[in-house]
Amino acid sequence: MDQNKSRKLLREFVSQTMREYFDKIDGYPIDKVYNLVIGEVEKPLIEETIKYCKGNQSRASELLGLSRGTLRKKMKQYNIS
């Protein structure tokens, strides 16, 4: 799969998920949705990327576009081993 197709697939998935989220909250007062989404997405993103890279942190940091130090910091923050 080329990178453009991959980005489009992810963008469509996020759009669909956010539409479903807003439908389900049905007027419930919320704020700071950006922080909410980032907070809920970042940990599983890191966990699944590390699994995909079979525990290779250098490869995972490259795939995520983070420095290895930043990846390790986030792993510590989220208690990911």
| Contact criterion met (CB below 8 Å) for 71 and 64 | yes
How many angstroms separate the CA atoms of 65 and 47, rounded? Answer: 15
Task: Pick the range with the lowest mean pLDDT from 2-6, 11-15, 43-47, 61-65.
Answer: 2-6
Q: Which residues contact 18 (CB under 8 A, 6 or more apart)?
A: 37
Whether the pTM exceeds 0.95: the reply is: no
Domain borders along the chain are 3-26+41-77
How distant is the alpha carbon of residue 69 from its chain centre?
18
- pLDDT of 46: 98
pLDDT score for 50: 98
Please name the CATH architecture into which domain 3-26+41-77 falls. Orthogonal Bundle (1.10)
Mean pLDDT of 18-24: 94
| Cα–Cα distance, 48 to 37 (Å, whole number) | 17
CA distance 22 to 4: 27
Residue range 59-73, pLDDT digits in tens: 999 999 999 999 999
